[in-house]
Amino acid sequence: MKKGSLYTILYAAVLGITCAVALTAVDRFTETRKVANVQAEEVQDILTVLGVPFDTQASSSDLLAVYESMVGEEEINGLTFFVSRHPEAGKLLATRFSGPGLLAPIEGLICLEEDMRTIYAISFYRQEETPGLGGQISSADFQDQFRGKMIVGPLGYAGIHLVNDGADQVNEIDAITGATMTSDKVEDMLSEIIKKIIARSGAHGA
């Protein structure tokens, strides 16, 4: 069969339209779930760091419902804080931070108590550091160290320090052995967000 240019164009058009229709149908079909998934994912990180209990197997819509009922959002001079009331710890405020890691960007959430100085929890929810070394920043052992630490040192300097020789100050954390570079980057991104928090929460300050 000899096929002319017109036929080719027609064929391409029909094929293109068919594919487009198929894809649109799939997109429509999955859209609600996809949107809910993305939201639920963000919500999950926030709920975790705020210490709000939730069922890890819960569906996206259930998670969103928990979030709606438990967490509020507060704008404090340009930083968005997720606020919730913890039965024991009282009012908790969490905000996002991010910065370059050794291998890929690191993102996390830091949650403070009402004094805006004491850390309630921290979470590095997105990182791709060396597994086993820098990658340990998202381990529970490492993140739990932050609990109860201060974002300001005893002499009033802002910032959290990751140290190798025993963390004995209120703003010191044991760094990960063998992951000096990741530790430095984490320290940098934390001091950046801490400076912003302190500059903008003068009214709450100690």
Partner 1 sequence: MAHSGPVVCAICGGSGPCDGKGRETLRAGVWVTNPVSVQVLGICSALAVTNKLENALVMGAALMFVCVGTNLFVSLLRNVTPRRIRMIAEVAIIATFVIIFDQVLRAYYLEMSKQLGPYVGLIITNCIIMGRAEAFALSNRPVVSMLDGLANGLGYAVVLGIIGFVRELMGTGALFGHQILAAEWYTPNQLMILAPGAFIALGFLIALHNAITGVNKPEGKGN
Partner 2 sequence: MKLILALLEKTRPLFQKGGRFTALKPIYDAVDTSLFSPLARTSRAPHVRDPLDTKRYMSTVIIAVAPCLLAAVHFFGLRVLAMVLVSYAAGGAVEVLLAVFKKDEISEGLLVTGILFPLILPPGLPLWMVALGSAFGVLVGKELFGGTGRNLFNPALIGRVFLALSYPKAMSSGWIEPGQGLVGRLLEYATDAVTMATPLAAAKSGTWAALPDLFFGNVTGSVGETSALAVLMGGAFLLIIGIANWRTVAAMLGTFVIVTAGIYGGDPHAIIWHLLSGGLLFGTFFMATDPVSSPIMNSAKWVYGAIIGIATALIRNFTGYVEGVMFAILLGNIFAPVLDELFVTAHVRRLREEG
- Cα dihedral: 190, 138, 96, 204 (round 10): -60
| CB nearer to partner 2: pick between 90 and 178 | 178
Choose the one of partner 1, partner 2, none that binds residue 23, judging by a C-beta under 5 to 8 angstroms depending on kind. Answer: partner 1
104 makes contact, choosing from partner 2, partner 1, none, with CB < 5 to 8 Å by partner type, with none
The smaller minimum CB distance to partner 1, of residues 3 and 206, is found at 3
27 binds, among partner 2, partner 1, none (CB under 5 to 8 A by kind): partner 1
When the beta carbons of 63 and 179 are compared against partner 2, the nearer one is 179
With a CB cutoff of 8 Å and minimum separation 6, the contacts of 77 are 200, 201
- Residue number with CB closer to partner 2 (72 or 178): 178
Query: Please, which of residues 9-38 interact with partner 2 by CB under 8 A?
Result: none
Alpha-carbon distance values, 94 to 22, 54, 123, 159, 174 (Å): 42, 17, 10, 17, 23
- Other beta carbons within 10 Å of 82: 25
The DSSP secondary structure of 80-93, one letter per residue, reads: EEEEEEETTTEEEE
- CB under 8 A: which stretch of 8-16, 43-51, 92-100, 178-186 binds partner 2? 178-186
CB atoms inside a 10 Å sphere around CB 12: 10
Nearest-5° Cα angle at 117, 74 to 159: 110
* Binding partner of residue 16 among partner 2, partner 1, none, CB cut-off 5 to 8 Å per kind: partner 1
Contact footprint for partner 2 (CB under 8 A): 102, 130, 132-134, 164, 177-182
